[in-house]
């Protein structure tokens, strides 16, 4: 259907199509090309070999040690998955609730990472699982229903927030079902949660109506007129139903951190090239988790510089093919960052330095930015929706306050 919310699904170790390239409408791109599936066949292929196996092995040992000793990558993520953030972000007053109208959700404890992990253990699922064979962190999990049958992978923090707090749904089984439906239909969970919340704001269904939310997703699967509107995402749904509070940048829905309570992530949402993308420069690390230093989330000072540096580092890490979650250990432990460079150098026979990594990140951002410029984007697209500057977010009663002129200095 070439819907803007369409994802690309990947099979995981259990050959379940439960892992998705969710953001950016990449599924619509495949649809536009008439591509249904890409199958990789490794018959007859040899394992790739490092140029310097001894150095590679040593660098790998240090790298793994670094990931295991960091409290986020070694303890929090394996135990509770990404949804360990639910209580933390809620406590910080930055957990977008009822379509970004409040920063705390009264039902957060029912859908937190801790609750999901307990449910999975009690029902015979698995809270600590790798989404692929090479992972050391293993933040993923397996969620089973109350009869012990597989339902979906452990729903991620963003998914639980989007379908949970943002829609005022506090039933963990309903959220897991919405996650499963998103996967079966090939939809971005963040976009769908944000869109259903906009539909709730429009009065199509009530906030907290889990069954209504499930039915709206099923409409997308049917390809009905309503389903096509919902599947086209929050921006289109807001326009069709005349909703003013529509949390999107460059047509893409905002993820699970309110930019009024975490100003650094607001800078990333506004300026990242694919639209509101938390992963492009994850300022939550420094604003909230105090990883890579600390910049006060409620102040405007230092946020542009923070976002810029993170965007450069992220573009470089993404290009290595590593999971972005290694970044916590890289930011806090210089020796782990060095071991990543050593890994790459030993594998490819390079002599990459830290400066080269920065230069690589900048180069990638410039190419992306150039693409956007040629596609017609201007600095006016590097903006958050107006309501973030006018509506105060409880409990801190703050607005997004980084000036436009400062946003424009980022690149």
Residues that bind ligand SF4 (CB under 6 A): 130-132, 135, 137-140, 323, 325
Angle at 21 (CA atoms; ends 16, 22), nearest 5 degrees:
105
Q: Answer for the pair 286, 296: CB distance below 8 angstroms, yes or no.
A: no
Q: Which is nearer to ligand SF4, 170 or 183 (CB)?
A: 183
- Relative to beta strand 8-10, strand 19-21 is antiparallel
- Nearest distance, CB of residue 138 and ligand SF4, angstroms: 5
**Smallest distance, ligand SF4 to C-beta of residue 242, A:** 38
| Whole-number CA gyration radius for the chain | 21
Measured from the CB atom, is 14 or 106 closer to ligand SF4?
Answer: 14
**Cα–Cα distance for residue pair 276/258, rounded to 1 Å:** 11
Minimum gap (Å) between residue 12 Cβ and ligand SF4: 9
- Whether 99 contacts 198, CB under 8 Å: yes
Closer CB to ligand SF4, 81 or 264, in the complex: 81
CB of 326 to ligand SF4, least distance (A): 8
Considering beta carbons, is residue 274 or 322 the nearer one to ligand SF4? 322
- What is the nearest approach in angstroms of ligand SF4 to the Cβ of residue 132? 6
Which CB, 25 or 127, lies closer to ligand SF4? 127
Taking the alpha carbons at both ends of the chain, their separation in whole angstroms is 35
CB 33 within 8 A of CB 198: no
Residues 167 and 216 sit within 8 Å (Cβ to Cβ): no
Structure-block tokens of residue 361: 């990140």
Q: C-beta of 15: minimal distance to ligand SF4 in Å?
A: 16
Tell whether the torsion through CA atoms of 180, 181, 185 and 189 is positive or negative: negative
State the helix-helix crossing angle for 210-222 and 189-202, rounded to 10 degrees.
110
* b/e map 23-52, b = 16+ CB within 10 Å: bbbbbbebbeeeeeeeeeeeeeeeeeebeb
Residue 140 or 166 having the CB closest to ligand SF4: 140
d(CA 110, CA 170): 6
By beta-carbon proximity to ligand SF4, the closer residue of 157 and 207 is 157
Closest approach, Cβ 153 to ligand SF4, in A, equals 9
Compute the distance between CA of residue 305 and CA of residue 271 in angstroms, rounded to an integer: 12
Q: How far is the CB of 82 from ligand SF4 (least distance, A)?
A: 7
Q: Which is nearer to ligand SF4, 89 or 142 (CB)?
A: 142
CA 200 to chain centre: 23
Q: In whole angstroms, how close is the CB of 130 to ligand SF4 at the nearest point?
A: 5
Dihedral of CA 54/55/56/59: which sign? positive
Nearer to ligand SF4 by Cβ, of 138 and 383: the residue is 138
């Amino acid at each position: 259907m070439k819907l803007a919310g369409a994802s690309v699904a990947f099979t995981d170790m259990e050959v379940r199509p439960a892992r998705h390239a969710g953001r950016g409408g990449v599924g619509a791109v495949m649809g536009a090309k008439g591509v249904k599936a890409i199958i990789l066949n490794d018959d007859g292929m040899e394992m790739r070999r490092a140029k310097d196996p001894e150095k590679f092995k040593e660098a790998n040992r240090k790298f793994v040690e670094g990931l295991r000793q960091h409290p986020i990558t070694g303890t929090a993520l394996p135990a509770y998955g990404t949804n360990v953030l639910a209580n933390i972000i809620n406590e910080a007053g930055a957990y977008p609730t009822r379509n970004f109208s409040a920063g705390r959700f009264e039902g957060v404890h029912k859908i937190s990472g801790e609750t999901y992990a307990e449910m999975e253990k009690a029902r015979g699922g698995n809270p600590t699982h790798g989404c692929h064979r090479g992972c050391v962190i293993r933040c993923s999990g397996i969620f089973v229903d109350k009869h012990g049958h597989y339902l979906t992978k452990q729903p991620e923090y963003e998914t639980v927030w989007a379908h949970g707090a943002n829609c005022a749904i506090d039933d963990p089984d309903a959220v897991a079902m919405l996650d499963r439906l998103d996967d079966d239909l090939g939809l971005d969970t963040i976009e769908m949660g944000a869109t259903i919340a906009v539909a709730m704001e429009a009065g199509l269904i009530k906030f907290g109506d889990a069954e209504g939310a499930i039915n709206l997703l099923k409409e997308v699967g049917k390809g009905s007129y309503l389903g096509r509107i919902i599947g086209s995402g929050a921006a289109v749904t807001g326009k069709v139903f005349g909703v003013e509070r529509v949390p999107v940048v460059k047509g893409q829905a905002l993820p699970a951190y309110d930019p009024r309570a975490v100003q650094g992530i607001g800078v990333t949402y506004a300026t990242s090239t694919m639209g509101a993308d938390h992963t492009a420069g994850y300022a939550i690390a420094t604003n909230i988790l105090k990883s890579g230093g600390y910049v006060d989330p409620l102040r405007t000072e230092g946020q542009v510089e923070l976002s810029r540096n993170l965007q450069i580092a992220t573009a470089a890490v993404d290009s290595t093919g590593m999971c972005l979650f290694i970044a916590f250990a890289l930011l806090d432990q210089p020796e782990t960052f060095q071991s990543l460079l050593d890994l790459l150098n030993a594998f490819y026979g390079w002599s990459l330095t830290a400066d080269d990594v920065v230069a690589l990140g900048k180069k990638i951002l410039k190419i992306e930015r150039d693409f956007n410029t040629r596609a017609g984007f201007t600095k006016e697209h590097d903006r958050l929706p107006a309501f973030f500057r006018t509506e105060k977010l409880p409990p801190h009663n703050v607005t997004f306050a980084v000036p436009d002129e400062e946003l424009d200095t980022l690149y």
